[in-house]
Structure 1
Amino acid sequence: MSGKIIKHSRNTEKAPLNAFSTQSVAFSHYNNISAQLPVNPVTGEIISADIKEQAKQCLDNIKAIVESVGHIMSDVVKINIYAINITELAAIDEVYATFFQGYPPVRTSLAVAALPMQGARVQMDALISNGEGTHPQAPCDLVKVAGNTPNAPQSPFSTQTVAFSHYNNIGAQLPIDPTTGNKVMGGIKQQTKQCLKNIKAILESIDVPFDDIVKLGIFVRNAADVDAVNDVFKTFFPDSAIARAVGYVPARSVVVTSGLPMDALVQIDAVVSHGDGTPPQAVEDRHGIIIKARNTNDAPTSALYTQTVAFSHYNHISAQLPVDPTTSEIVKGDVKAQAEQCLQNLKVIVESIGHVMDDMVKINIQLKNIDDVDVVSEVYKTFFNGDLPARTVFGVSDIPMSALVQIDAVISNAEGTPPQA
């Protein structure tokens, strides 16, 4: 790993252990928590078929991990909820609300086709603030800055924007008109436009340029809608003259869901660079810390995303399909061959910027068939020499290009981006 800041990987027996992931992986001022299933850590089994009890167990497991590293639940910045049935979200919310006093984290909720353990109806992962940093950073009393604007939809279960240190997370935006609180009329293009308008309104409310987005998550109900989503996407990015001059677009992942809140066709969340930091960090020129966006021809390229977007001490890698960069086609073979190609694409991207696979702090794996998880995991572990990253795995109804697997990642970036040392 470059530089002196180190990754801190930890497990606790108070939450379920997994041979293919680390429960908590901290780096600099953030800590990534692996997806937690409704598993009793003592028995290793799903605790119940009741959705409320399952939701509570997921959150109890997250809480146990958070407390094991000296933090509390109010340090949670973002939660992702993966449910089998989106109609059970209301029941999940009843439990969820009891775990957060003061303000709720930003949140993304979606229905998935399957989860890694039979009988699981929900799983959750999390990102937490880490004010003490990781060695040799000195602890700093950084504060979270959470906010909402009436110019975008509000929810009692998700704050629109939560900034900590040099990053800002935006909760998933549904195609809701904030003036009416209703889903916009029309099809996928109208809904996509409203989602992006809501994100833009949130960023404008905190005086952050739209082109400060480093990663987007796009969640669609139908794979056939992706082209229409892209048509709208291209009218929003690049946003500024500077970004257009260099052709900058964020990293991104596209997920085909089994359902979304309010029966929406699309929702979009975002990770945003936050150059001025949060108090007591000194306010800098917003572009003093720069975004470093790069592509390599040794991995698949696209005009719709940048392969790797670094900012400060983190780097976001776009979702990689099992595409051979020399042919631009899905590799021949089964899920094992496809998983290896996805990971090889990630490895090439990571190495093109002077990093190694062990710099990864979080991996997200989508599978067309959840029964393939063991095969994919066996391939997966061969790409790492040290502690494994935090990880989230879920099944989807479809993947772009009819692939069997898709993988994205977040990596540590110890050298930072200029002018940091």
Structure 2
Amino acid sequence: MSRFNTVLARNTENAPKGIGPYSQTVAFSHYNNLSAQLPVDPMTGTLVAGGAKEQAEQCFKNIKAIVESIGHVMDDVVRITIFLQNIADIDVVNRVYSSFFHDYVPTLTVAAVAALPLDALVQVEALVSNGEGTIPDAPQAGDLIKIASDTNRAPTSPLSTQSVAFSHYNNLSAQLPIDPQSGKLVAGGAKEQAAQCLQNIKAILENIAVPFDDIVKINIFLKNLSDIESVNEACRAFFPDSAIARAVAYAPARTVVEVSALPMDALVQIEAVASHGDGTPPQAVEDRHGIVIKAHNTSAAPRCALSTQTVAFSHYNHISAQLPLNPITGAVVAGGVKEQAGQCLSNLKAIVESIGHVMSDVVKVNVFLKNIADIDAVDGVYAAFFPDGVPARRTVGVAALPRGAMIQIDAVVANAEGTPPEA
């Protein structure tokens, strides 16, 4: 019997089939990665009638159906991500969201984007704990617990928990540039707002005794992509944070994307995922310490001084967003969206193979498109890299991408071998 976790893709007829080559949920080790759910009625395969309220209800019903089909409940959800076509719908969608969570609320990210598949008004994604693990024929006890934490040193909200730890990861709610004392946006521009977002993240991590350099992935949502250099300046002041991290110039994996609007009309919002080497009970104390972060870059894919191509911790590898850049020239490849999608996926493959993995180890893919109408053309290329259609997936349309690209892709990859001392 294998002692390693395996990728476990599952689908249920009680939720809509994907509109592309992907699975509804892909479990690996202690997490289930769900594909973003559109407001599609699983019986008819079409969008439900009504506005944002009805569409949000259908998205959450679909998530609940998937969660229950794999023997879990909604309180096992660790993180919810909501994409809106119109930020003005946030209040009505938040009320729907709250109706699915009662005594506990997960971490939360909300942003408005330029477009969603099927011209939907709402799309919702969930990350779910998986206490039983995915070792074939050897389920674990399934009794690992979530640890939900809040601190008044960072903004609090009745809609979300600041940090939810499960097993070896801490998932943080996306942080807005809110001063926790006043509850208002900080004064200044994108640089000041980015610094406040990062300061809020640091306060949350310090509250749970996690160093800032234990962050393995950040996602930066910008209202104006032209603000990226100001945001980068703020990031350089926070990463790396410790002497050890500075010695190796550590930076987490990263994705940057332009959104059409953010809550409170903020210019910046930052989401973080952090390692959690001490695990969550009842993991034995002697098994909970010393797991290391393994950061890796390869010359076979484009490199960036502000991020690491892939950061592994425990049983996952987090891949930075890949643009359609030729790794030799550093230029955007010639051609249209098919050629650009092929280059993004080739870069992703090069990174995955550089750490001794294969594309079938990918459990989740996030696709950002300048033109949502390109989704079918992208799927034609995508299927060649994922012929079994296994990874869970999220696709959104954005107003702009770095380097004027038409497409950007990031991914989460299984890491069965773990990171030391989980040899």
> What is the TM-score with the length of structure 1 in the denominator?
0.98
C-alpha contact (below 8 Å) 1:9/1:387 kept by paired residues: no
Give the equivalent residue in structure 2 for 1:334: 336
Provide the secondary structure at the position in 2 that maps to 1:346: helix
Give the equivalent residue in structure 1 for 2:318: 316
In structure 2, C-alpha distance between the alignment counterparts of 1:255 and 1:234, rounded to whole Å: 18
Residue by residue over 1:84-128, the C-alpha shift from the partner in whole angstroms, topping out at 9 and shown as x without a partner, is: 01111100011110100111110110001001103x100011100
In structure 2, C-alpha distance between the alignment counterparts of 1:74 and 1:404, rounded to whole Å: 37
Aligned counterpart in structure 2 of residue 350 of structure 1, from 349, 352, 376: 352
In structure 1, C-alpha distance between the alignment counterparts of 2:360 and 2:243, rounded to whole Å: 36
In structure 2, C-alpha distance between the alignment counterparts of 1:406 and 1:363, rounded to whole Å: 11
Give the equivalent residue in structure 1 for 2:93: 92
Give the equivalent residue in structure 2 for 1:16: 16
The ranges of structure 1 where at least 4 consecutive aligned residues each deviate by more than 6 angstroms after the TM superposition are none
Report whether the alignment pairs 1:389 with 2:391.
yes
Residue by residue over 1:60-81, the C-alpha shift from the partner in whole angstroms, topping out at 9 and shown as x without a partner, is: 0000000000000000000110
Residue 197 (structure 1) shift: 0.2
> What is the TM-score with the length of structure 2 in the denominator?
0.97
Letter in 1 for 2:37: Q
Residue 285 (structure 1) shift: 8.3
Give the equivalent residue in structure 1 for 2:108: 107
RMSD in angstroms over aligned alpha carbons?
A: 1.2
Give the equivalent residue in structure 1 for 2:62: 61
Aligned counterpart in structure 1 of residue 219 of structure 2, from 208, 217, 220: 217
Residue 255 (structure 1) shift: 1.1
Give the equivalent residue in structure 2 for 1:272: 274
In structure 2, C-alpha distance between the alignment counterparts of 1:243 and 1:135, rounded to whole Å: 33
Instruction: Identify which range, 283-292 or 378-387, moves more after superposition.
Output: 283-292
Residue 386 (structure 1) shift: 3.4
Give the equivalent residue in structure 1 for 2:193: 191
C-alpha contact (below 8 Å) 1:276/1:284 kept by paired residues: no
C-alpha contact (below 8 Å) 1:39/1:45 kept by paired residues: yes
C-alpha contact (below 8 Å) 1:358/1:385 kept by paired residues: no
C-alpha contact (below 8 Å) 1:79/1:124 kept by paired residues: yes
In structure 1, C-alpha distance between the alignment counterparts of 2:386 and 2:170, rounded to whole Å: 29
In structure 1, C-alpha distance between the alignment counterparts of 2:73 and 2:113, rounded to whole Å: 28
Residue by residue over 1:397-421, the C-alpha shift from the partner in whole angstroms, topping out at 9 and shown as x without a partner, is: 0000000000000000000001113
Residue 195 (structure 1) shift: 0.2
Give the equivalent residue in structure 2 for 1:204: 206
In structure 1, C-alpha distance between the alignment counterparts of 2:300 and 2:187, rounded to whole Å: 42
Residue 59 (structure 1) shift: 0.2
Instruction: Identify which range, 285-294 or 19-28, moves more after superposition.
Output: 285-294
C-alpha contact (below 8 Å) 2:148/2:163 kept by paired residues: yes
C-alpha contact (below 8 Å) 1:162/1:169 kept by paired residues: yes
Matches within 5 A, 1:338-417: 338-417=340-419
Instruction: Identify which range, 132-141 or 330-339, moves more after superposition.
Output: 132-141
Give the equivalent residue in structure 2 for 1:243: 245
Give the equivalent residue in structure 2 for 1:7: 7
Letter in 1 for 2:414: S
Instruction: Identify which range, 42-51 or 260-269, moves more after superposition.
Output: 42-51
Residue 282 (structure 1) shift: 1.9
Provide the secondary structure at the position in 2 that maps to 1:36: coil
* Percent identical: 63
In structure 2, C-alpha distance between the alignment counterparts of 1:93 and 1:202, rounded to whole Å: 23
Letter in 2 for 1:17: K
Residue by residue over 1:156-198, the C-alpha shift from the partner in whole angstroms, topping out at 9 and shown as x without a partner, is: 1111000000001010000000001011111111100000000
C-alpha contact (below 8 Å) 2:322/2:409 kept by paired residues: yes
In structure 1, C-alpha distance between the alignment counterparts of 2:356 and 2:377, rounded to whole Å: 29
Letter in 1 for 2:404: S
Residue 4 (structure 1) shift: 2.7
In structure 2, C-alpha distance between the alignment counterparts of 1:338 and 1:284, rounded to whole Å: 47
Residue by residue over 1:349-374, the C-alpha shift from the partner in whole angstroms, topping out at 9 and shown as x without a partner, is: 00000000010000000000000000
In structure 1, C-alpha distance between the alignment counterparts of 2:390 and 2:287, rounded to whole Å: 36
Report whether the alignment pairs 1:50 with 2:51.
yes
In structure 1, C-alpha distance between the alignment counterparts of 2:287 and 2:69, rounded to whole Å: 37
Provide the secondary structure at the position in 1 that maps to 2:408: strand
Residue 20 (structure 1) shift: 1.2
C-alpha contact (below 8 Å) 2:24/2:34 kept by paired residues: yes
Q: Give the direction of change, closer, same or farther, for the CA distance of 1:343–1:3 in structure 2 (3 Å limit).
A: farther
C-alpha contact (below 8 Å) 2:215/2:252 kept by paired residues: yes
Give the equivalent residue in structure 1 for 2:37: 36
Give the equivalent residue in structure 2 for 1:80: 81
In structure 2, C-alpha distance between the alignment counterparts of 1:287 and 1:354, rounded to whole Å: 25
Residue 50 (structure 1) shift: 1.3
Residue 139 (structure 1) shift: 2.0
* Count of aligned positions: 419
Letter in 2 for 1:126: A
Provide the secondary structure at the position in 1 that maps to 2:277: coil
C-alpha contact (below 8 Å) 2:39/2:47 kept by paired residues: yes
Q: For structure 2, which runs of at least 5 residues remain unmatched after alignment?
A: none
In structure 1, C-alpha distance between the alignment counterparts of 2:332 and 2:287, rounded to whole Å: 43
C-alpha contact (below 8 Å) 1:3/1:414 kept by paired residues: no
